[in-house]
Structure 1
Amino acid sequence: MPKKRSGGGLTSTQQAAKFLGVSVLAGAVMAGIALPAAGALGLAAKGSVESFDELPANLKTPPLSQRTTILDADGGQLATVYSRDRTVVGLKDISSYMQKAIVAIEDSRFYQHGAIDLKGVLRALNKNAQSGEVSEGASTLTQQYVKNVFVEEAGDDPTKVAQATQQTLGRKINELKHAIQVEEELGKKKILENYLNITFFGQQAYGVEAAAQRYFSKSAKKLNLQESALLAGIVQSPSRYDPVNDETEATKRRNTVLQRMAEVGDISQAEAAKAMKQPLGLKVSKPNNGCITAVQGASFFCKYVERVFLSDPVFGKSREERAKTWNQGGLTIRTTLDPQAQNSVEESLKDHVNKSDKVAAATTLVEPGTGKIVGMGQSKPYGYGKNETEYNYSVDAAYGGSNFGFPTGSTFKPFVAAAALEEGRPATQDYSSPYEMEYPSPVQTCDSSPWTNRRGEKLENETESEVGPYRLKEAMAKSVNTYFVQMISDIGLCPVVNVTDKLHVRQGNGDKIPETPAIALGSIGLSPLTMASAYAAFASRGMYCTPVAIESITQKVGDKRKSLEVPKSTCSRAMSEKTADTVNTLLRGVVDSGTGQQAGLTDRESAGKTGTTDERKNAWFVGYTPNMSGAVWVGSATQKVEMKNITIGGVYHPLVYGGQVPGPIWKDAMAGALEGKSTESFNLVNIPNPDEDRDDGDGNGNGNGNGNGNGNGNNDGDNGDEGATDGGTGGDTFPSPTFSIPEGFFQGNGNGNGGRD
């Protein structure tokens, strides 16, 4: 037996038949168009009950798109992101004034008729006939809701939007069919609730809650009479009745709504008159949409989170599926970003690099043992104007970064050392390390064809005074190029590639590390996130953890919330504990007495490596403590600016080195990020040095500073090698503590402790 409705006691089919038989012109009215009689008769002939029942039976009502909120690790809001600014609320959270106002002005007989208001059709037909044009429609609130659903489904596809809103009788009939079904399935209260949540109120506000916040900075539940009337009046034409841009028109429309509410008995005439005298009372909140509005300088991190969501299969099998979930919104994403660390990153960058500088800087901090990204920032703000950029210099191209990353210089050398140690080479390994040499050839690769130096390519050290033989510890502290090329030719390229694979070191475009000896000198482009994550494995004694940015996600669907699965960090052993501990000992020497002294932390143990590339287009410092790892890159994003005779952050530099500009940025960022955090120690190893002038045990030795001036370094408890490295450097050879000197030259300070950039 057909189901009956209270609206006239007719079944949906009977309502459809009666509607289609009322008048050919009525159909034209409902379509919002004028049709010639002949054409209308043709449509009427097709508009039988039988053909109507052939229309699709199921109305798709997708979850309404809502805003997504991105939070930091402490729950503080970083940004809101949405394709449509909407917050879905239940009818109980919408002012009764608002409910009455929208019904009064849009469909005053809403509770008396079914999906189709036949009296309304006839009224509109009569008025349009009198005026000679289509001046009034007869869509019920239910029909408007159905139309909005079609528009919502269309999303931002202009073709689909046009199809959902085209003024044709065929579309109108299809809309009516679904309106009838909705009336039968949902009922009046749910239809009203859905309508108030889906409809557009102008100023990028979808749904009544977003509209209440936009125009009055309050919730929909707290809207008073005149505020409700204003919002209800906007719906008919959001641009025409926009109170922000045309207060006069908006006031007239509001008063029209108030008068209509009085006419239908929702309020008294006296209440309407009193409300009409009130000012609009706007308290506008500007739209706050997108990562560009993120606080704490976290715009780039915010975009990284979005790209992770759109690329990770855990959020959907296809990119289209993931994008649909993202655009649907309603997500609350708690991230790994630590507000203390992020603020420290931003402050450090601002203190050392200006956004108007010819070069840029980027810093990323990660937590060893968990892979959590706790800080990410850069000197060029996110945006589209001058001295702004959309590129995230901290990440790979797939996540919004540079196409190939940035050449890392000598910061790649620890990977070569780790590979050699894993191959069984001792920490005392020495090589002749001449000032200049040809790349050794052939060098074994992972396949059967070795690398050969067919063009006789050469390399050299930073200065002519850098002449071996050197052992590993001193070569790392001085960053001796020829030493590490000899090392990579000794052990072969495959062990190095194996280590970098385990550390997930990939080029910025996603390609694997090429098998060529030049990788020892950092010739390939990597991202700061890649470097910080790889060095974190040294800090965690050989355990590499994939970087993660998302802690948890919940999604609001209707009035309920559900938890979504999120990608987890996967940790695996990249090298033995002994190898990691040895590298930590080597890199602590770089910070204590080598090229990275300007990055050394005063209150906790740290280790790291400097890097400067050919023509000084890139300078790096990558370092870590036992509980935090960070990478700083400074350079030319276009790789066209040479950092010679250049001013960065208001400071002039004849030449830029990794320890000189990136080092202090790293130091300040890490110091602030770690303030109040636990102080932990490395598991250092004893690296013996059999040289006769470096007796193991008393820590005494000779340090040679720029070729002249001997100093006696006393480092109780350390071996003789440590004491020699800490030795004096000849007093006042370079009197200025900020003088720019090449990597490998000592910087004397007159107190027996040598510094090296």
Structure 2
Amino acid sequence: MPKKRSGGGLTTTQQAAKFLGVAALSGAVLAGIALPAVGALGLAAKGTVEGFDEIPSNLKTPPLSQRITILDNEGGLIATDYSRDRTVIPLKDISPYMQDAIIAIEDSRFYEHGAVDLKGILRAMNRNVQAGGAAQGASTLTQQYVKNVFVEEAGDDPDKVAEATQQTLGRKVRELKYAIQVEEELGKKKILENYLNITFFGQQAYGVETASQRYFSKHAKDLKLEEAAMLAGLVQSPTRYDPVNDAEEATKRRNIVLQRMAAVGSISQDEAEKAIATPLNLDVSKPNSGCITADSGAGFFCDYVRKTVLTDPTFGKTHEERAKLWNLGGLTIRTTLSPRAQEAADEAATSKVYKDDKVAASVVQVEPGTGKILSMAQSRPYGLDQNKHQTMLNLGVSNKMGGSTYGFQVGSTFKPITAAAALEKGISPAESYTTDWKISLPLNSFRDCSGAPTGSDNWDLVNELESEKGTWDMTSALGKSINTYFAKLEQKTGLCETVEMAKKMGYERGDGKEIEENASITLGGEVSTPLSMASVYATFANRGTYCSPVAIESITDANGKKLGVPKTECSRAMSEKTADTISQMLKGVVEDGTGTLAGLSDRDNAGKTGTTNDRLDAWFVGYTPNLSTAVWVGDDVGEKTTKMFNITIGGQYYDKVCGGCLPGPIWKTAMTGALNASETPSFQPVQVPRGKEKEEEKDKGRDEGAGGGNDNDKPGADPIGGITLPPGFIGGNDGRGRGGNGP
């Protein structure tokens, strides 16, 4: 079709004067462009044109919002997310039928007029006068495109949308000037391409490519004549002609488009009649947006990625900047998620703890040396339907990233941190203490980092069993998880040194607050998250170097430009010798200590069990040289009142849940599935000095506790769910893990 330049070479002001002059002369209301008679407003055409010249001459076209694609580390799709579901494509990838159909029904003289179709205006005015109302419009495709630009720029702000669509003379004049500019700068084909990419087609589909996928599950370049006609008919009223909800109305509208195409010569009458006789033949693809669409239980990881973009300064200095980036979309985000590890973690979490159990399980895996988060799974599915036991609460991460209010008390999984601090201070693994089942330590012997004592009373604490009395060195105390030993070890090492070691290893509270410097920290009285604990133990696996966790490998925008992403930050927390020594000692936990049910028989592995008072929380955290995994099981709802005694979880009855008997097997399943059988790196060999050990009674099969699990009536005991706390200690670290402020 031949093209004609806008207005036959007239200047912008001349074109506007000609247009407004016609409108003023008619003295009629023009429905299609909603331009009231100029005289009715008391405005002369000359004055309107002067105002026209005052409108800024450059239309700032915002980039079109598009979908975000989130991929795993192999390039597989995890999920898509969008504020507006749109995929921008070039005109060459749009069926010629679609191009002809939209022109025929919306602006049949598109290639013959400029920004304004004066013949169309006169025709519309005549029809409207005859009809006595708004029977026909006269906006060109270019004018419609400009209007859609204003709507796109308004986003989801209802006030801005109303302003962009209000039927006023001022808006129409502004649209006119920008339409003239667009015609001069872009040309017809580019305008048509932009129009087909920006237009709303209903069913959350913006742009013809998404619309084609939504209604026919095919690319826009593959649309047949009758399919293109149906889509073109939707533009006038996506709700009225929605084929999903009213096939009859959609068919009538489609047939009108086909007849119009025949009338203007785009197709023959025979082609039109054949297409009219064809059913709609919809093949609808439902809108899928957000992390709820993620497969293999990866919804929580997907949500963590989204929150990373919305909170990390790498993506903008302010929340508004980061939110704008996400809402604009068009991003392809390649993440660190390993599909193999995620599948294994999901199976481990859901096979041993059911979604409708009273308690929940969380599994997080991190790669030592890189900080890459390889999996993030839990027993309750991601979603909003509570009847299906779904939740949006990510039990594996901090409150800021969608987790519980505080996190969860970690129990005896903290003890290796104390051991590392002791080794760094020069204390030998052979350091031995002879203790009774119960001991009492003066709190003024524990000083925080300011040098102040943590209290003036005594700290009374106990071991799990009365038989746990005797002489212990560091190795045996870790293997048996002896509370009294680690209280005395912390006393010698120093509370401040212990806390500082935890910080160096990436230990963080779930609520983002500073670690509280209390003596009970060595027994797990402080709260944290599975992601934090997996990262802490990855420090041991990485021979003493901590690497901060990361979830994103790369991001490209809609134009293929690479964006900066957060990088892991690695720093040495302890010497290689200290880390290697801890690994050798923790091997004993899985070989003949409290974690024997978790042990992997085909490779070096190490780990630590942990529980809290009343069995409100149970943990197993462990690692190989190339993978660190943290498993938590506990009450994830409300006030944390579910005590894991005499309870059925995952179809299995437990008289009491212990770190080694439920989190341990979950850990083993997750590790076995995630690890490559052909890759079995070993820990660095190191000789660990041993002290003289004397036990009054050996009981290798019993489980460890986190200290005084049955002593909640003792003075200073935490009545909610921790270890035996020092007298007078009332902290914010009670590990209740309330989910009330989750997303």
Deviation of 1:740 (Å): 7.9
Q: How does 1:90-489 map to 2 (within 5 A)?
A: 90-386=90-386, 387-454=389-456, 456-489=458-491
Deviation of 1:106 (Å): 0.4
Instruction: Name the CA shift for 1:17/1:600 in 2 (closer, same or farther; >3 Å).
Output: same
CA–CA distance in structure 1, aligned partners of residues 496 and 561 of structure 2: 47
SS of match in other structure, 2:558: strand
Instruction: Name the CA shift for 1:34/1:52 in 2 (closer, same or farther; >3 Å).
Output: closer
User: What are the superposed Cα offsets for residues 551-586 of structure 1, whole Å, 9 maximum, x if unpaired?
Assistant: 1111123xxx21112222121111000110111011
Which position in structure 2 is the counterpart of 1:526? Answer: 528
Instruction: Name the CA shift for 1:163/1:677 in 2 (closer, same or farther; >3 Å).
Output: farther
User: What are the superposed Cα offsets for residues 435-483 of structure 1, whole Å, 9 maximum, x if unpaired?
Assistant: 2233432145454442333454422111111113321111111111121
CA–CA distance in structure 1, aligned partners of residues 46 and 642 of structure 2: 72
Instruction: Name the CA shift for 1:165/1:681 in 2 (closer, same or farther; >3 Å).
Output: same
CA–CA distance in structure 1, aligned partners of residues 609 and 592 of structure 2: 12
Q: How does 1:610-689 map to 2 (within 5 A)?
A: 610-638=609-637, 639-689=640-690
Mean Cα displacement is larger for which, 156-165 or 415-424? 156-165
User: What are the superposed Cα offsets for residues 21-66 of structure 1, whole Å, 9 maximum, x if unpaired?
Assistant: 212467842575585886x332445753221111122211111111
Instruction: Name the CA shift for 1:643/1:610 in 2 (closer, same or farther; >3 Å).
Output: same
CA–CA distance in structure 2, aligned partners of residues 629 and 678 of structure 1: 15
CA–CA distance in structure 1, aligned partners of residues 620 and 549 of structure 2: 19
Q: Is 1:20–1:27's contact at 8 Å kept on the other side of the alignment? A: no
Deviation of 1:402 (Å): 1.0
Q: Is 1:657–1:743's contact at 8 Å kept on the other side of the alignment? A: no
Instruction: Name the CA shift for 1:578/1:607 in 2 (closer, same or farther; >3 Å).
Output: same
CA–CA distance in structure 1, aligned partners of residues 661 and 53 of structure 2: 78
CA–CA distance in structure 1, aligned partners of residues 587 and 321 of structure 2: 47
Unaligned runs of 5+ in 2: 709-743
Unaligned runs of 5+ in 1: 694-701, 707-728, 746-757
Q: How does 1:521-600 map to 2 (within 5 A)?
A: 521-557=523-559, 561-600=560-599
Tell me the amino acid that sits aligned with residue 655 of structure 1.
K
Deviation of 1:67 (Å): 1.1
Tell me the amino acid that sits aligned with residue 323 of structure 1.
A
Instruction: Name the CA shift for 1:191/1:504 in 2 (closer, same or farther; >3 Å).
Output: same
Q: Is 2:479–2:594's contact at 8 Å kept on the other side of the alignment? A: yes
Tell me the amino acid that sits aligned with residue 492 of structure 1.
G
User: What are the superposed Cα offsets for residues 279-319 of structure 1, whole Å, 9 maximum, x if unpaired?
Assistant: 11211111121110001110000010111111122222222
Q: Is 2:610–2:706's contact at 8 Å kept on the other side of the alignment? A: no
CA–CA distance in structure 1, aligned partners of residues 524 and 479 of structure 2: 16
CA–CA distance in structure 1, aligned partners of residues 445 and 175 of structure 2: 73
Q: Is 1:655–1:740's contact at 8 Å kept on the other side of the alignment? A: no
Tell me the amino acid that sits aligned with residue 406 of structure 2.
F
CA–CA distance in structure 1, aligned partners of residues 436 and 400 of structure 2: 40
Tell me the amino acid that sits aligned with residue 577 of structure 1.
E
CA–CA distance in structure 1, aligned partners of residues 436 and 671 of structure 2: 36
Runs of 4+ displaced beyond 6 Å: 739-745
Instruction: Name the CA shift for 1:117/1:192 in 2 (closer, same or farther; >3 Å).
Output: same
Mean Cα displacement is larger for which, 413-422 or 679-688? 679-688
CA–CA distance in structure 2, aligned partners of residues 563 and 677 of structure 1: 35
Which position in structure 1 is the counterpart of 2:19? Answer: 19
Tell me the amino acid that sits aligned with residue 666 of structure 1.
W
Tell me the amino acid that sits aligned with residue 262 of structure 1.
A
CA–CA distance in structure 2, aligned partners of residues 281 and 47 of structure 1: 54
Tell me the amino acid that sits aligned with residue 148 of structure 2.
N
Mean Cα displacement is larger for which, 634-643 or 579-588? 634-643
- Count of aligned pairs between the two proteins: 700
Instruction: Name the CA shift for 1:743/1:308 in 2 (closer, same or farther; >3 Å).
Output: closer
Q: Is 2:309–2:322's contact at 8 Å kept on the other side of the alignment? A: yes
SS of match in other structure, 2:61: coil
Deviation of 1:690 (Å): 4.9
Deviation of 1:676 (Å): 3.0
SS of match in other structure, 2:334: strand
Q: Is 1:406–1:618's contact at 8 Å kept on the other side of the alignment? A: yes
Mean Cα displacement is larger for which, 218-227 or 489-498? 489-498
Mean Cα displacement is larger for which, 292-301 or 280-289? 280-289
CA–CA distance in structure 2, aligned partners of residues 238 and 417 of structure 1: 66
Instruction: Name the CA shift for 1:440/1:586 in 2 (closer, same or farther; >3 Å).
Output: farther
Q: Is 1:26–1:121's contact at 8 Å kept on the other side of the alignment? A: no
Instruction: Name the CA shift for 1:681/1:703 in 2 (closer, same or farther; >3 Å).
Output: farther
Instruction: Name the CA shift for 1:21/1:37 in 2 (closer, same or farther; >3 Å).
Output: closer
TM-score by length of 2: 0.91
Q: Is 1:407–1:523's contact at 8 Å kept on the other side of the alignment? A: yes
Q: Is 2:468–2:697's contact at 8 Å kept on the other side of the alignment? A: no
Tell me the amino acid that sits aligned with residue 525 of structure 1.
V
CA–CA distance in structure 1, aligned partners of residues 522 and 216 of structure 2: 61
Q: Is 2:442–2:458's contact at 8 Å kept on the other side of the alignment? A: no
Deviation of 1:84 (Å): 1.0
Instruction: Name the CA shift for 1:740/1:479 in 2 (closer, same or farther; >3 Å).
Output: closer
Tell me the amino acid that sits aligned with residue 470 of structure 1.
W
Q: Is 2:32–2:139's contact at 8 Å kept on the other side of the alignment? A: no
Calculate percent identity across the aligned residue pairs: 61
User: What are the superposed Cα offsets for residues 219-255 of structure 1, whole Å, 9 maximum, x if unpaired?
Assistant: 1111111111111001110011111111111111111
Q: Is 1:26–1:122's contact at 8 Å kept on the other side of the alignment? A: no
Q: Is 1:262–1:268's contact at 8 Å kept on the other side of the alignment? A: yes
SS of match in other structure, 1:150: helix
Tell me the amino acid that sits aligned with residue 217 of structure 2.
S
Tell me the amino acid that sits aligned with residue 377 of structure 2.
G
SS of match in other structure, 1:8: helix
Q: Is 2:104–2:260's contact at 8 Å kept on the other side of the alignment? A: yes
Tell me the amino acid that sits aligned with residue 592 of structure 1.
E
Q: Is 2:229–2:255's contact at 8 Å kept on the other side of the alignment? A: yes
Instruction: Name the CA shift for 1:27/1:620 in 2 (closer, same or farther; >3 Å).
Output: farther
Tell me the amino acid that sits aligned with residue 170 of structure 2.
G
